[in-house]
Structure 1
């Protein structure tokens, strides 16, 4: 059985960066949900973060996890609890995705809206409204808490501002049965 720690957060919060750091530190493999979906679709994602077919993408994610990871592999998976559709509406990822994935623990990254906005502008050359990013981040956190309760798994809310990975390392060790 796969042992997954799901690391969530909105675009630009630093999921991939932090996941790679903690993955190297603990010697545990990591995957990006968007890259797994892109592999399944055989196409890359664009800088535009507005998703047309959220449900279809999540089905492809589950399929890609099954095809591209070992049966008993332990790994980090960075992804989202909510996404923006093509109308800039915040949409929750279906509960069925998390039920199928069955993560052992959840980490949700958050940061100041100004920092996130700056990273997105620099990385993707897209300006997001503060209000949209704030609602997006609040929705991400609240829905992650709901998924944690549904799955009865521990959750860690992690403020990336301080850059102290020790809490995340300790939490991950516990989630992976102390490695």
Structure 2
């Protein structure tokens, strides 16, 4: 049975002989000094808890490097999952930003079109504007408008037709303007 002091001395010797080799091997694969050092340290911490693997062992090199290869494999697999998660998250964020941007753009276009339509209604002759407002904004029927303004239903229909034609021209103009 070995004492704790002996165990510490043997591990120190084992560590000093092998840590640089393990770290160098990990660096060759990972091309990252920090990752190579982290993996090498993890391996030696695990080995400290299992002295039977390194005390009085003549050929521990194969076990040590098998352990290292498994650590590197697991590390790379974890990095791959992590990278995939980051890419998915970035894509979701990018799409949500596009949705917000599209929503804001659509809202802005809708406000601009609404403003242009209001301006067009304000530019209509007074009688046509009154009839249009009563019909579209207040929801009155053609008969109700005719009774209220003391006009024939046919006159109301004609004014509504002309008002809608004016607005249609503006909408078509905006449509062709947006296609450019």
TM class by shorter chain equals under 0.3
Give the number of the structure whose alpha-carbon radius of gyration is greater. Answer: 2
Higher strand proportion (structure 1 or 2): 1
TM-score by length of 2: 0.25
Q: Which has the higher contact order (CA 8 A, sep 6+)?
A: 1
Higher helix proportion (structure 1 or 2): 2
